Amino acid sequence: MSTAALNKVQMPFKDYKSEVPVVWCPGCGHHGILNGLYRALADAGVDPTCLVNVSGIGCSSRTPYFVKSYKMHTLHGRAGAVATGVQLARPDLAVVVTGGDGDGFSIGGGHMPHMARKNVNLTYILYDNGIYGLTKGQYSPTSRPELKAYTTPYGGPDEPMNPCLYMLTYGATFVAQAFAGKPKICADLIKQALEHKGFSYVNIFSQCPSFNKIDTIEFYRDLVEEIPAGHDVTDIGAAMALARRPNGKAPMGLLYKEEGKPTLDEKMAGLVQKLGGHPDYDMKKVINLFRP
Ligand SMILES: Cc1ncc(C[n+]2csc(CCOP(=O)(O)OP(=O)(O)O)c2C)c(N)n1
Ligand SMILES: [Mg+2]
């Protein structure tokens, strides 16, 4: 999403913490991502009164409780759909979705390609721990076959999906990847995502020491490799080639950025104008009908 037009504030990153205590397990990677998010919000100067943090259900989906913002803790897998509605109704606000691999790619998998192809002007931060953490350890779409979890006591039959490649395929205009053990890199990429106009997706690996015993912090540290300086972020072919992990390493950094593509709210505003602002097509008027 683009924060350019928003009211800017200068607040230390600690002031983006809400009063709600963070309840995640000690050693969970989600702490690192949350710290990255606080720093990114501070560095981008986001006014908390212009920020809406939307989530579904999961440990990661508790993030909005911990961030000073307006917030919606919605249904499992439906954060993207709700956030799209929020963004269309209030294009003057910054919309950030925070959620997990289960929430985004299992039950919510039907929404992900559409946010990307429609270029919804929001930022999606996916906490990728390769497991359903909140429900105490079931196999997810990003789990490796070696993972022995409650639902796969002998390991899983499937290859894990590749979130960045998926998002690039469906036309996301900003795709980045990071690792929770590197909160400064997380902060830098989230800040860039916040400032991007259009759908920005940040995939962040996050160790779950309680339930995913194979994707440890050491495993992720070894898996990720910083994207070489010469990478052209406007080259979709190069981005896809990196995302495919040709040398077995997961790229860390900004893979792809496309500027100037119209966002869904812009296209809808254009349609309203074309229709002469007919009330049936005027989002704000339609929404006002449902306001008490
Ligand atoms: C409709 C529905 N189905 C299933 C659940 C149970 N459930 C809650 S969270 C969750 C998965 C969470 O995993 P993920 O999104 O990866 O988040 P994490 O806890 O790992 O951060 C599931 C299956 C639910 N709450 N609602
Ligand atoms: Mg998960």
Name the pLDDT band for 286 (thresholds 50, 70, 90).
low
Sign of CA dihedral 265, 268, 273, 279: negative
Task: Flag whether 3 is in a domain.
Answer: no
For residue 193, which amino acid is it? A
The two counts, helices (H) then strands (E), for the chain are 11, 8
* 280 plus 233 within the same structural domain: no
pLDDT band at 282 (very low <50, low <70, confident <90, very high): low
- Give residue 17's domain range: 13-261
Residue 160: its pLDDT value, please? 97
Position 2 in a domain? no
| Ligand 1 binding pocket mutation candidate from 23, 132, 143 (most atoms within 8 A of CB) | 132
Inside any domain, residue 66: yes
Distance CA 100, CA 59 (A): 8
pLDDT tens profile 63-116: 999 999 999 999 999 999 999 999 999 999 999 999 999 999 999 999 999 999
Task: Provide the token pair at 246.
Answer: 């040709």
In this prediction the pTM is: 0.95
Do both 161 and 287 map to the same domain?
no
* Ligand 1 proximal residues by C-beta, below 6 Å: 57-60, 76, 99-103, 107, 127, 129, 131-135, 140
Q: Whose CA is nearest to atom 4 of ligand 1?
A: 76
Are 156 and 145 a contacting pair, CB within 8 Å?
Answer: yes
- Of the candidates 162, 182, 174, the one whose C-alpha atom is nearest the C-alpha of residue 201 is 174
The Cα 102–Cα 104 span in angstroms is: 6
Which of 5, 236, 268 is closest to 118 using CA atoms? 268
Atom of ligand 1 nearest to the CA of 128: 16
Q: How many domains does the chain have?
A: 2
Is the separation of the CB atoms in 133 and 62 below 8 Å?
A: no
